[in-house]
Amino acid sequence: MAKISGLQREVLSLYRQCLRACRKKPADTRLNFYNHTRSEFHRNSSINKKDFGTIEYLIRSGRKKLETYEDPGIRNIANL
């Protein structure tokens, strides 16, 4: 198995954190959060592994979004 870089490790960690946050959402809207998480990561999966600036930016913005979505007041999300 190939070694993964620090950035790849951060991306995987963020993905796992997002999935854990989805589990805390109401059962009737949980699927919307899972679908949104998957689509965001899939949409950005084609970025070149060597484009460090973009990847770091996406990690930072992903963490900010995660912090917002973890708020108990956020009960649903629209997948746009």
Contact 14, 63 (CB under 8 A): yes
Nearest by Cα to 24 from 72, 79, 73, 77: 72
Q: Specify the pLDDT at position 1.
A: 63
pTM score: 0.89
Structure confidence by residue, pLDDT tens digits, 24-49: 999 999 999 999 999 999 999 999 99
Q: Specify the pLDDT at position 79.
A: 55
Contact 39, 32 (CB under 8 A): no
The pLDDT of residue 80 is above 50: no
Mean local confidence (pLDDT), 46-53: 94
Q: Which residues are within 8 A (CB) of 18 and not within 5 positions of it... i.e. 6 or more apart?
A: 37, 41, 62, 66, 69
Calpha distance 15→38 (Å, rounded)? 9
